[in-house]
Structure 1
Amino acid sequence: MTTTIAKRQNGNTPATFGNVVDNIFQNSLHRFFDDNFFHAGRTFQSDVVPVNVRENNESYNLEVIAPGCRKESFKVNVNGNLLTVSYDHQDEQTEENDKNQWRRTEYQRRTFQRTFTLDDSVDVNGIQAEYKDGILCLRVPKHEKAKQVAKTIEIQ
C-alpha cells in the first residue's frame, strides 16, 4: 500500500474537467492492480495486517488481526524499545500422477511484520501473547509507577 502526500487545491477553486477524468482513471487503475483477483496467483504474499491498540490503567492491549495463520509461525520479539510481531509461513503442495508421468509442486509463502515503539512505562518482562480465533492478542503491562492513581484531595 502506498500513501501519497499531496497539496490540496484551494477549496474555492473548482477542479478542471481534466483533473476529474484523471482522478477517475487513476482510482480505477489503482483498484484494478490492488484487487485481490490480480494477486490471486502469487506464491509470495506480504501483508500489512490491521492492529487494534487499546490502553487501560493496567496495560496496552494489541490485537493483530490475522485469520488463517498458524500459531507456530508467529514471532514476538522485544529489542530495546521496539516490539516486533512477525509472521513467516511457507507451504508446499505436491501432486503426482505416475500414469501420465507428471508432477506439480506449488510453493506459497505468507509474511508480515509490524513494529511498535515502547515507552518507559512498559514492563517488558510481563508481555504475554495468545493466538485465538484468528487474532493474536498481546498484553503489554505497565510498570506500577506508570499506572494512574485516582484519589480525592481534601481541600483545607
Structure 2
Amino acid sequence: MSSLMNVSKNGDHKNTGLSHRGWSNWIDDLFNVDTFPTVLSNNFNTGISLPKVNIRETKDDYFVDMAVPGMKKEDFNIDLDNDVLSISSEKKVENENTEDSFTRKEFGYASFRRTFTLPDSIEDSKIKAKYEDGILSIQLPKREEAKQKPARTIKIS
C-alpha cells in the first residue's frame, strides 16, 4: 500500500499526494472508497452475483431456467409488472461461535435481481415457477394465437 503515506518514527507524517490534516483525517481517508478503490474492490465481497440463465422455447412455452444451487424456494421473489418479469433474492447469514475466552461472529449477505421484458405473446395469467435440484424454472405459456401451428397441405380447387 505505497499510496498511503510515510510515517516517521517521531509520529510526523509525510503526505504522498493525499490531503491529510491530522491523524483522524488520515483514518477517514484510509477507508475512503474514492481514495483506495482497488483495496476495497479486491478485498471485500460485495455480496452481488448474477446467476446464469438459460432461455428456451418449445412449441407451447418459453422457459427461463436459472442456476441457483443451495437456495430454497422461499428465498426467491418473482414479480410481473407491465410485461417485465423480475426475479430477485436476498439472503442474510449469520454464524456465531462462542468459546471460553472469545466470541467470533461472521455474517454474509448476498442478493441478485434479474429482469426480462416479456413479448406480447405470453399468457401472463398462466405463468408458473418451480424450484428443483438447484434450478429455478419459470414457465411462460404462449397465447394460443402465438403457438406454432402444425404444417398442413392445402388442396388446390
One fold, TM greater than 0.5?
Answer: yes
Q: Which residue of 2 aligns with 1:105?
A: 105
CA-based RMSD: 1.7
Which structure has the larger Rg? 2
Q: Secondary structure at the match of 1:57?
A: coil
Q: Which residue of 2 aligns with 1:116?
A: 116
Matched, 1:65 2:67: yes
CA distance, structure 2, for counterparts of residue 152 and residue 90 of structure 1: 59
CA distance, structure 1, for counterparts of residue 84 and residue 129 of structure 2: 16
Gaps of 5+ in 1: 1-32
Q: Which residue of 2 aligns with 1:15?
A: none
Matches within 5 A, 1:3-152: 42=45, 44-97=46-99, 99-100=100-101, 102-150=102-150, 151-152=152-153
The structure 1 segments of at least 4 consecutive aligned residues displaced by more than 2 Å after TM superposition are: none
Q: Which residue of 2 aligns with 1:12?
A: none
CA distance, structure 1, for counterparts of residue 148 and residue 52 of structure 2: 28
Deviation at 1:137, TM superposition (A): 0.7
CA distance, structure 1, for counterparts of residue 89 and residue 155 of structure 2: 52
Deviation at 1:107, TM superposition (A): 1.2
Q: Taking structure 1 as the reference length, what is the TM-score of the superposition?
A: 0.68
Structure 2 counterpart of 1:138, one-letter code: I
Gaps of 5+ in 2: 1-37
Q: Which residue of 2 aligns with 1:14?
A: none
CA distance, structure 2, for counterparts of residue 96 and residue 154 of structure 1: 82
Q: Which structure carries more relative contact order (alpha carbon 8 Å, separation 6+)?
A: 1
Q: How much identity, in percent, do the aligned residues show?
A: 34
Q: Taking structure 2 as the reference length, what is the TM-score of the superposition?
A: 0.68
Structure 2 counterpart of 1:103, one-letter code: T
